[in-house]
Amino acid sequence: MPQQTLAIIKPDAVKKRVVGKIITRIEDEGFTIARLKLVHLSPDEAKGFYAVHKEKKFFSSLTEFMSSGPVVVMALEAEDAIRRWREVMGATDPALAAPGTLRRLYGFSIERNAVHGSDATETAEWEVGYFFKKKP
Ligand code: ATP
Ligand code: MG
């Protein structure tokens, strides 16, 4: 059964005008885009999404960044989508991400790292539900 993961093209990448390049890569890697929208998160929406990180020292900076401009939110579908999308993104810190990964190509710093991906089946389900209503 194909799996779903939540992908976000973060404000830094939208501002850099690399949305098209990232979506082309997503399609070339064999993911199906099941849902897609452009949204400008409020600070509270960003805090809600990253609630698991609320104790981290980078939380307020991260949520300010994530609400600083529009983001593109997608539900991606593929076999093993969660693991594969994280592989295409690369390591959290663009400086440590493997050559050719999206974060290496388009990320600026450990915070402004171009893309987000869910990290497990439960979080993927929760994250897709955070942005997209279930189809009737
Ligand atoms: P994401 O959840 O966005 O896919 P990730 O799972 O690789 O990334 P997490 O540890 O979940 O990394 O951190 C969530 C986000 O918080 C990172 O993508 C990054 O934008 C930011 N972040 C993580 N670590 C740091 C840090 N040390 N300093 C600043 N920002 C950070
Ligand atoms: Mg994460």
Ligand 1 pocket (Cβ < 6 Å) reads: 53, 58, 62, 92, 110-111, 113, 116-117, 119
pLDDT digits (tens, 9 = 90+) for 20-65: 999 999 999 999 999 999 999 999 999 999 999 999 999 999 999 9
The three-state secondary structure class of 28 is helix
Nearest ligand to the CA of 5 is: 1
Assessment of whether the complete model's pTM goes beyond 0.95: yes
Q: Which of 10, 116, 117, 127 is catalytic?
A: 116
13: pLDDT strictly greater than 70 = yes
Q: Which domains does the chain have, with CATH numbers?
A: 3-131 (3.30.70.141)
pLDDT for position 6:
98
pLDDT for position 133:
86
Q: Are strands 115-117 and 32-39 parallel, antiparallel or unpaired?
A: unpaired
Three-state SS sequence of 65-115:
HHCCCCEEEEEEEECCHHHHHHHHHCCCCCCCCCCCCHHHHHCCCCCCCCE
pLDDT for position 136:
60
